[in-house]
Amino acid sequence: MSARRIGVVGCGTMGAGITAECLRAGLDVQVLATGRASADRARTRVLGLLDRAHAKGRIDAGQRAEAERRVAFGTDPDALADRHAVVEAVPEDRETKLRLFTILAKTVEDPAAVLASTTSSLSIADLAEATDRPGAVIGLHFFNPVPTMPLVEVIRSPHTTDTTAERAEALVTESLGKQIVRAEDRCGFVVNALLIPYLMAAVRMCEAGIATAEDIDRGMTLGCGHPMGPLAVLDLIGLDVIADVARSMTDGTGDTRHAVPPLLDRLITEGRLGRKTGHGFHRYETRRAAS
């Protein structure tokens, strides 16, 4: 059975993007937020993404209106009881995710439901073992911004059943129209294991005064054929988001290539988080997103 009723836990940038993509695909979505104010901000984010999809011609006016009718925002985990799949998109904190998966396993009634994590660095097996249904747990690592990024990493733990993997991949590929790569359950999986050391090296180069942010990015776009330079990628994803992933990977691997440079911490402290604040390594003419 295909997953038609989806739960999304957490509705920051990633959760909002996943919610909007599920709605665009015709799915019913229940979003779980931490409080009423957070739920209201989540609604604003998601409806804004639907408006953007309409403006870009990805959905028509009727689909936009119908999508809004298929989403609900709340704070009670029991609202997830009837879901066929639940995707958590809470901050990259191990203890927070462990507590959440314990709750999800007790709340979601369908024994075949997929319990998925968007973690970019934590162990899927670790999350699964916090539940009494470890076979239902899988990693679905979406990339930001979700509406435009075509890739999802699918990560099975040794516990994940074939049925869970099949249902999860069908949701991603058939319903959402994304492409997948299958990754082993190791810190950073495929993409971040390559990406994070590269991004941190670019920050250190800028920090040391070897080259400006503009020249670093120009060098990688014009010299290596990358569509975006590393510091522009940091700005796009969010400096705070990448720093959290890098810290998690440093803790998980002990590899100093993942360590967050002081310059990155300083920019975050100053509120220069990238495109969402209008200023990161580069400046952008955009309004600061609601937080």
Crossing angle, helix 262-269 and helix 191-207, to 10 degrees?
90
Per DSSP bridges, beta strands 114-117 and 85-88 are parallel
Provide DSSP, 74-127. ES-GGGGTT-SEEEE---S-HHHHHHHHHHHHHH---TT-EEEE--SSS-HHHH
Contact predicate 115/131, CB 8 Å: yes
Catalytically annotated residues: 120, 141, 153, 192
Q: What is the CA radius of gyration of the chain?
A: 19
Other CB atoms within 10 Å distance of the CB of residue 274: 26
Return the SS3 of 86: strand
CA pair distance 220, 86, nearest whole angstrom: 38
CA pair distance 105, 137, nearest whole angstrom: 9
Helix (H) or strand (E) segment spanning residue 148: none
